[in-house]
């Protein structure tokens, strides 16, 4: 259905594909994204934005590189929490990424509503998030720029979707920025330190910090795991995830799986 390349601006092509029903402006990222409705379905389409847009944090070439990185991630990991990527289309304005549309609210804007949910429902969403990162970790991906607006939550369907993992890195690397991209509330200490190693331990910290910020009162066994992950630290993401699953088993499926 989708061509491998187009010779017109992305918005022009999308107007031909269907109806653009929403447009997400560039903000700090420089990316411009669209919601597109066709006769059969809806798509989320992400572009590198205007090549002439001199964003202070990331220039056009940098935005293109991150979109190509997102393509590599989408092709390497298949998980229910990730929207399916249907196509990557080359255009005069860089790659155009076509994903399935997922309903939901960004937790960056709906965090308080999410935190007011029953503990069991929040834990079920966290289990989905952690299972996704187990798959990402197994494929060699290390966290980058993950925070609450990397998550969509469909409240009626109780479904978590994870988006915008463009800054994830294939394999360990060294912090060459000092203060890296991200929300300081979620970031690991090494994401603030020039020359620090960024690796699977970083992923574990950020995932644990996510739970600390989204759970009002974690059950004691889970609280202990989250505290260890953000103080003395687990040596790997796998070790953190295994500790989380083991602690979850001690509080019983009734709480973990309960959504009402």
pLDDT one-digit tens code per residue, 214-238: 999 999 999 999 999 999 999 999 9
Average pLDDT, whole number, for the chain? 94
DSSP state of 90: B
Q: What is the pLDDT of residues 44-99, one digit of tens each?
A: 999 999 888 777 678 899 999 999 999 999 999 999 999 999 999 999 999 999 99
HSE (CB half, 13 Å, CA atoms) of 204? 23
Distances from the Cα of 7 to the Cα of 20, 35, 96, 108, 204, angstroms: 19, 21, 12, 36, 43
**Are 10-100 and 105-257 equal in CATH topology?**
no
Per domain, the residue ranges of the chain are 10-100, 105-257
Q: Cα angle at 79 between 166 and 173, to 5 degrees? A: 40
CATH 3.30.200.20 fits 10-100, yes or no: yes
Q: What is the pLDDT of residues 103-137, one digit of tens each?
A: 999 999 999 999 999 999 999 999 999 999 999 99
Assigned CATH for 105-257: 1.10.510.10
pTM here is 0.94
Is residue 168 a contact partner of residue 142, using CB atoms and an 8 Å limit?
yes
């Amino acid at each position: 259905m989708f061509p491998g390349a187009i010779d017109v601006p992305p918005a022009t092509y999308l107007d031909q594909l269907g109806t653009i029903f929403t447009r997400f402006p560039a903000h700090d990222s420089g990316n411009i994204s669209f919601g597109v409705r066709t006769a059969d379905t809806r798509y989320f389409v992400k572009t590198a934005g205007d090549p002439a847009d001199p964003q202070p944090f990331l220039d056009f070439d940098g935005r293109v590189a991150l979109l190509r990185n997102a393509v590599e991630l989408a092709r390497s990991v298949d998980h229910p929490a990730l929207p399916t990527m249907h196509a990557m289309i080359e255009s005069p304005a860089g790659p155009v990424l076509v994903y399935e549309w997922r309903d939901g609210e960004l937790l960056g804007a709906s965090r308080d509503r999410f935190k007011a949910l029953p503990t069991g429902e929040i834990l079920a969403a966290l289990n989905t998030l952690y299972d996704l990162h187990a798959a990402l970790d197994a494929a060699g991906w290390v966290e980058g720029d993950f925070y609450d607006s990397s998550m969509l939550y469909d409240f009626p369907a109780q479904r978590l979707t994870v988006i915008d993992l463009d800054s994830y890195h294939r394999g360990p690397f060294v912090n060459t920025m000092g203060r890296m991209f991200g929300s300081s509330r979620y970031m690991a200490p090494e994401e603030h330190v020039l020359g620090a190693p960024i690796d699977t331990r970083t992923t574990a910290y950020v995932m644990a910090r996510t739970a600390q910020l989204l759970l009002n009162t974690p059950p004691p066994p889970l609280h202990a795991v989250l505290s260890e992950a953000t103080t003395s630290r687990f040596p790997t993401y796998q070790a953190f995830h295994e500790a989380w699953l083991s602690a979850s088993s001690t509080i019983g499926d009734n709480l973990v799986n309960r959504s009402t």
